[in-house]
Amino acid sequence: MTCCMIPAYSFMCYQCGPMGDDEDYTEDQCEKDQKKENCTVDDSTCFKYHLENTDGIVQERRGCTTKSSCDEAKETCSDKDKKEEARIKECQVACCVSTVDTPCNSASIASSSLMFMMIVAALGSLKLF
């Protein structure tokens, strides 16, 4: 009788974020509240997302996502017209594909992965004409 071991998927990211889109959640608050989460096989990228909207609300989010969703959020943050349309004053996104990538997993998270996907979908649906 032979036995085989199935490797476990153990990619982990820090997770934190506000409960709603209309409340402040600073980087300091995120660092204080963050927890490690196991990512799914599909969500193989960690993200770190910082946003300040034109109403002055500042939010920090961290968690697991797909590489394509993270890349799309980075593209939106670098597009002046998309930021203006979404009433974003400032945003920064870091995408990390390794547990040692410091922008997302440095020591210096309610699941924010779903919220991040909602933000990406909202920003991606903007029509620029």
Question: Which element (helix H / strand E) includes 85?
Answer: helix 80-85
Instruction: Tell me which residue range forms the domain holding 83.
Output: 12-124
Does 5 reside within a domain? no
Alpha-carbon Rg for the chain, nearest whole angstrom, is 16
> What is the sign of the dihedral through the CA atoms of 46, 102, 38 and 32?
negative
pTM of the full predicted structure? Answer: 0.69
Rounded distance, CA 31 to CA 41, Å?
25
Does 3 reside within a domain? no
Does 98 reside within a domain? yes
Kindly report, residue by residue over 86-106, the tens digit of the pLDDT.
Answer: 889 999 999 988 766 666 765
> What are the DSSP E strand ranges found in 72-126?
88-96
Kindly report, residue by residue over 1-34, the tens digit of the pLDDT.
Answer: 455 444 455 688 899 999 888 889 999 999 999 9
Does 109 reside within a domain? yes
According to DSSP, the residues that pair with 60 across neighbouring strands are 50
The two three-digit tokens of residue 11, written as one number: 């990619």
